[in-house]
Structure 1
Amino acid sequence: MFEKFDGAARAAIMMSKDIADYRGLDHISTGHLLLAVAGHPAPKPHWKNWQGISPKAAAVIAALGTTPEVIIDQTMPELERGSGTNPGHVPFTPDLKLVLEYALRASMMLGDNHIGPEHLLAGLTRAEDSTAGRVLARLGITDAKVHAAIRESTPVPSPTAARTCDVYLPVGKSVFKNGGKIYPDLATAQTAHPNQDIAPFPLQLSDGEFFDVGIPLPGNRFDSWSRFTSYADAFAAAEDFTRVQGVSVKIRILVPHVQELYGKDSSGRDRILGRAVEYTGVSIMSRVVTPTLHLAESSSRT
């Protein structure tokens, strides 16, 4: 499951451990994770790279009609203090282990291909008898409301119909091979290759597929940033993100995998409860190399 965690969710887990350490506890609870998701770090000088609340979590909390400060203020009085420090392994409480499972389910139900802080927040609402569950219940925050807030605050198109997106590349180059360069329009391609003939290439997208922009991480993981219906929009966003962040940003075409979720009705009979969409396949990945050259390399991925 942890391989599905994006960078912000992993940072929140690490920060929740630091919060527990700072309070002298030998366990990590749901309250510690709620503080981390809301952007409240333990005042430890060694955690210099903590960026606070993730933009996605901040947008979801705003959509819920509250603020990170309110969540933090409601949570702090609920936390216990221990008697020492625990520099070694600090285990999760049983409630927190369940929260991580709930977060995975929330991600699947929303059709996301990762677990972010927003999914952790949804999972925390499900632990009703825990510290975080009680705090969120007092604020009127339920898992259904978090799911709705995630959808409301996410610039993600609904499943799209099959369509064709024209991209451009030098004549004789393949969009499916390493080193092939693809561009969203003719002018951009001609600027990058002034002495070569440019030809359009009809990029076919099946029903439900879309362009996903994000940052590649070690271990074949991917930190998704945003999703787009057109390659031109994805390309422009990737370049802007590369220019601002100074990191390599990739564009993928995600392929949906639909799974039916089964359960039992009041008579004990099996029935379909719903359908979850998980994006596990990648048909093409292109990489914005530098913001100054405005190039995109593509490679075939499955």
Structure 2
Amino acid sequence: MFERFTKSARAVVVGAQGHARALHSHRIEPVHLFLGALDHADEHLKKALGAAGFTVDGVLADVRSQDERALKSLGIDLDTIVSTIDSTLGAGALEGAQTSLPHHLPFAASAKEVLKLSLKEAVERRDREIGIEHVLLGLVRCAEPMFTELVQQHCSLQELRSMVSLVRTS
């Protein structure tokens, strides 16, 4: 399937791995594919997504906020943990800490599904190649819960789908 990906769509996948590593994830999730798509979108698509509130920095902030809310719902306060570690081990003790991530990060089942749906989107549109827009449409079609929650902070999945489709046809 990857042979049908355009150069920019392949860059999305590579970028997703980079974002997964930066966010200390042990696998590539749909949100990482979204971040990769935001990194590599052409100017028209980037402008449309940015107008809707989807920028790399904004989505990263949303992801971190989402993670903090999830931890708090479990009764975990990250600030308290960092403060305790700093007082026990010294200020900034966590700054140089490295987590051991595998060299190659696997795709989560939901991210694999997004890539399959990207192919389906391209086939339905009779496109020979899978581009960034197909990956974005695959993300929308997959509607993975964390990605959906992230998108719905700015618009509906259908609005995102329309936005991507409009930019693609103009």
How does the TM-score come out when normalised to structure 1?
0.40
| Structure 2: gaps of 5 or more residues | 69-97
How many Å apart are 1:105 and its aligned residue? 1.5
Distance 1:38 1:110, change over 3 A: same
Which stretch of structure 1 is more off in the superposition, 16-25 or 4-13? Answer: 16-25
How many Å apart are 1:138 and its aligned residue? 3.4
In the TM superposition, what whole-angstrom CA distance separates every residue of 1:94-131 from its partner, at most 9, and x where no partner exists?
11111111111222223322212221111112333432
- AA paired with 2:38? A
How does the TM-score come out when normalised to structure 2?
0.66
Identity of aligned residues (%): 21
Instruction: Give the Cα separation in 2 of the matches to 1:89 and 1:107.
Output: 27
In the TM superposition, what whole-angstrom CA distance separates every residue of 1:222-266 from its partner, at most 9, and x where no partner exists?
xxxxxxxxxxxxxxxxxxxxxxxxxxxxxxxxxxxxxxxxxxxxx
In the TM superposition, what whole-angstrom CA distance separates every residue of 1:173-224 from its partner, at most 9, and x where no partner exists?
xxxxxxxxxxxxxxxxxxxxxxxxxxxxxxxxxxxxxxxxxxxxxxxxxxxx
8 A Cα contact 1:128 1:137, kept in partner: no
Instruction: Give the Cα separation in 2 of the matches to 1:61 and 1:151.
Output: 12
> What are the within-5 Å matches in structure 2 for residues 1-302 of structure 1?
1-39=1-39, 52-55=40-43, 57-61=45-49, 65-68=52-55, 69-79=57-67, 84-142=99-157, 144-154=158-168
| Structure 1: gaps of 5 or more residues | 40-51, 157-302
In the TM superposition, what whole-angstrom CA distance separates every residue of 1:135-163 from its partner, at most 9, and x where no partner exists?
12333232x4444334422356xxxxxxx
Indicate the structure with greater strand content: 1
Q: How many residues are treated as equivalent by the alignment?
A: 140
What SS class does the counterpart of residue 152 from structure 2 fall into? helix
Indicate the structure with greater helix content: 2
Instruction: Give the Cα separation in 1 of the matches to 2:10 and 2:67.
Output: 22
Matched with 1:218 is none
How many Å apart are 1:13 and its aligned residue? 0.7
Matched with 1:280 is none
8 A Cα contact 1:35 1:75, kept in partner: no
Distance 1:10 1:22, change over 3 A: same
Distance 1:137 1:21, change over 3 A: same
Matched with 1:233 is none
Distance 1:31 1:155, change over 3 A: closer
How much is the aligned-residue C-alpha RMSD, in angstroms? 2.8
